[in-house]
Structures are given as C-alpha cells and as structure tokens.
Amino acid sequence: MSQEIAVIGSPDFTTGFRLAGVRKFENVPEEEKDAALDDAVERTLADDDVGIIVMQSSDLDHLSRNTRKSVETSIEPTLVTLGGDAGSSGLREQIKRAIGIDLMDE
C-alpha cells in the first residue's frame, strides 16, 4: 500500500503541489487559518492513506496547542514543514524521521 503526500495550507501554497501530482490537500485561506486549520490537520492526521503532511512552518503558529502537539509528534503521517528558519538540517531530520534512514549520510 503506497502512502500519499498531503499538503495543507493556503490555496497559493497547495497549488504547486497539486500541479506536481499531489492529490490530497486541504485549502485553508489565510483569513480562515485560526478557525479552520485545526480541523484540516485533524482530518488529514486521521486519513490512513497519508504518509507525509506538508505545511508551511508559519502555519503551525495558527494551530491550537493540542493539534500542534499531535501533528509534531505523529510518526505516521510525518509532518514536513517548509519555510521558516529550520533550513536544510531541519528538512534532513524530518526526512530521516519519515523514512527511517539518513539520505545524506556519507
């Protein structure tokens, strides 16, 4: 069974992923993030087909404490955040957590 990538965020953020073939997404317009982002994340966490959730790191600030903790500590699906100050080392750690091996290891 193949695991799918899901992307959550503003329509501007999700569109590029959808064009690249990501079929699972939750569009949450900027002005609705404080109200609707928790529900979108919870729905995606509950989807057994999703293996990786992609979000903008700045969107984590819009989540309630419980939802943020749920998504950040989830092993499957694994959260991958883009943007912010995590840099490549943050992405490297997230990928390692998602697939269990360090792709950059020499």
Measured distance CA(51)–CA(7) in Å, rounded: 11
Handedness of CA 67, 102, 51, 8 (dihedral sign): positive
β-strands 4-9, 24-27 pairing = parallel
Q: What angle do CA 98, 104, 106 make, to 5 degrees?
A: 135
Q: What pLDDT digit, counting tens, does each position of 67-88 carry?
A: 999 999 998 999 998 886 544 5
Q: Is 2 exposed, middle or buried (0-12, 13-18, 19+ CB in 10 A)?
A: exposed
- How many residues are given for the chain? 106
> So where are the chain's domains?
4-99
Name the CATH code of domain 4-99 (choices 1.10.10.10, 3.40.50.2000, 3.40.50.10580, 3.30.70.100).
3.40.50.10580
Q: For residue 104, name the pLDDT band (cuts at 50, 70, 90).
A: low
For 1-51, the pLDDT digits (tens) are 668 999 999 999 999 889 989 999 999 999 999 999 999 999 999 999 999
